[in-house]
Amino acid sequence: MTKALTPPVAKKVPHQMEIHGHQRTDNYYWMRDDKRQNEEILAHLKAENEYCEAVMKPHTALQSKLFEEMKGRIVKDDSSVPVKDGHYWYTNEVSGEEEYGRHYRALNEKMENKELLLDVNELAKGHEFYELAELIVSPDDALLAYCEDIDGRRIYTARFKDIATGKLLDDVLLETEGQIVWGNDNKSVFYVKKDLQTLLGFQVYRHILGTPQSEDVLVYEEQDRQFYMGLGKSRDESEIFIYLSATETSDVLYLDANQPLGEFKRLLARQEGHEYGLEKFGDYYYLLSNSDAKNFRLVRASADAINDPSKWEEVIAHREHVLLEGLELFDSHFVITEREKGQIRFVIHDYHGASYQLGFEDECYYAGVAYNPESSATSVRISYSSLTTPSSIFECDLVTGKKTLKKQMKVLGDFNPSDYASERVHIRARDGEEIPASIVYRKSLFNKDGTNPLLQYGYGAYGYTIDPIFSSSTLSLLDRGFVYVIAHIRGSEMLGRRWYEHGKKAHKENSFNDFVDVTRALVDMQYGAADKIFASGGSAGGLLMGAVINQAPELYLGIGCHVPFLDVLTTMLDETIPLTTNEYDEWGNPNEKEYYDVILSYSPYDNLEAKDYPNILVTTGLHDSQVQYWEPMKWVAKLREFKTDENLLVLKTDMDSGHGGASGRFKSLHEKALEMAFFISLLPEATS
């Protein structure tokens, strides 16, 4: 029935491009509309949505069942563990069928006589999309600043509220990055303003409450468009930081928070290739630095010595096989997040040289330092999750290491962690590297006999590691016999900085090869049936999907390709497209012939061929600020032109959302249910 449906066929308008003596013709370049108002383009996207709906119509009941399953596991009335910050304790609560939460504060941990700060449900009324990016109280606890995005483009409006009266101030800051930092005078605030064409934050302004935004003072402008910009405050609240970060270079400027009308100064001379994270506490600056340390080392220096590396005091030396990922400073101790052989651990140090490790028992898990605003705390909060353990918050005594469980996410229904098992395997890639893969399945439905359907997920870019965390929605696949796998391919930092460097720029092909090699090995090891293998990835993971099916389409029955970066070469040659210049150190600058050839060799859009491809579901958001909607739109049109099979190819565009998909705690489940139904419906023994 579904194969008799006729998919939309896009017109072809040849667009010629030439650089380095090489010509390309893009027949679907016309699909780009920066304003998102072109009626022909919108009509085509609508037609694609209607086709997707028609294709999936026979599986509507399955999709609805999956949605209700996933929604049914979520506790309707829930709250976060209260966190103390200054005089108050803060928490977030959600209720019933509401999509968003309410933010409260109180004078004690029991949240007695709590006062409402924000009701996000009220703020979101009338908006198809709503995201709250920042919520921060002034140093004197009297005012609340918050930043909101109502169209998914990640362009935020900052607003201010008098907590005592509940009234909004007249101050409204438009076109911001979504961060607000308070000066210690309680009336000066700093924010990053965006370039509306590139969506790059490149200017820092100072705003004085009670004055119009037009009178705000530009305090810093970054001329090098390869840098992202952010704001922060030191651990001891004494300084305001401007963080500048390119893929391979860091830079920080600082300002005395007690003198907010002063000038920002550079902390260290900017040095290409020097990456570091910085914190200030008391008389010292602490740096996690890659200077002479690929996997980073921890150093510290006083204010008058920080700009002279020869005067740095080394606190933790570089180790070849241990990546330093994070630092949290307390009055009595500091906590270092380390990763070795792919696994996270914490090391608690006092300031006199003593230390001990804090670990967990699962074979593969994720743990991270949670929100710890009080440096005077005698314990550190740790978030923890594994493929079989729901998200948990532990409070760990800094002296003894004793862990106290504060809360574990409750999963409604008949969920029992002992019904599931997880594993970590290492698979030899074609060049001899050992690729870690994290695996989870339901014990009673898995016999390792090569008959199970298997879904493999991957990302592999920016040094971002996809750790094995619990997902209550994934249970809907596991309970239908699926094996779920995360392939920790090169391009992440799963095995340290080298793992990242060997998966970017000229080495990008390793990411794709790793993913394919993991798939082949898992079939050989009988974790999954050769004719029931699925793969999924989003954003840079969508690029992964596009490259993988160009290389080995025969391996996969179905592909989920979400907000995918597919037209890599054309995008990276266009500096007007958001984020392009920031990405040169990740993918290479194709204005240079060397990297033009590298990107051309794998760019999914440029390497489509006349051959059979798997069944493919593509999703995007019209207002996506990271990967523009036209990339997947063009790719689908071109793939329809080239593919020689009768497999399904559908494109679903959320006309109200951006890169992160639908907002709200339930709406996003519809997207997951769509992908799951798409995959399950392709199985020869498709069941509900």
Radius of gyration of the chain (CA): 25
Task: Tell me if 635 sits within 8 A of 546, measured CB to CB.
Answer: yes
Strand residue runs (E) in 398-538: 403-408, 420-428, 434-442, 454-457, 483-487, 533-538
Q: Which residues contact 597 (CB under 8 A, 6 or more apart)?
A: none
Q: Which residues contact 396 (CB under 8 A, 6 or more apart)?
A: 346, 348, 358, 379, 380, 381, 382, 402, 403, 404
624 flagged as catalytic: yes
Residue of 250, 422, 472, 539 with catalytic role: 539
Q: Which residue is it, tokens 């006092």?
A: 350
Q: What is the 3-state secondary structure (H, E, C) of 151-199?
A: CCCCCEEEEEEECCCCCEEEEEEEEECCCCEECCCCCEEEEEEECCCCC
659 flagged as catalytic: yes
88: number of Cβ within 10 Å = 18
Task: Tell me if 303 sits within 8 A of 285, measured CB to CB.
Answer: yes
Characterise 613 by phi-psi region: left (phi > 0), alpha (psi -120 to 50), beta (else): beta
Task: Tell me if 439 sits within 8 A of 423, measured CB to CB.
Answer: yes
Task: Tell me if 73 sits within 8 A of 472, measured CB to CB.
Answer: yes
Task: Tell me if 247 sits within 8 A of 586, measured CB to CB.
Answer: yes
> Up-side HSE of residue 181: CA atoms within 13 Å toward CB?
26
Q: Is the C-alpha dihedral spanning 490, 496, 502, 504 positive or negative?
A: positive
Residue of 59, 103, 488, 659 with catalytic role: 659
Q: Report the C-alpha gap between 491 and 501 in whole angstroms.
A: 7
Task: Tell me if 454 sits within 8 A of 422, measured CB to CB.
Answer: no
Coil, helix or strand at residue 97: coil
* Residues making up the chain, counted from first to last: 688
Q: What are phi and psi of 676, to 5 degrees?
A: -60, -45
Q: Residue 616: which of 646, 648, 644, 640 has the closest Cα?
A: 648
Q: Residue 369: which of 358, 381, 377 has the closest Cα?
A: 381
Task: Tell me if 559 sits within 8 A of 617, measured CB to CB.
Answer: yes
Name 91's bridge partners. 104
Residue of 26, 216, 606, 624 with catalytic role: 624
Residues tagged active-site:
539, 624, 659
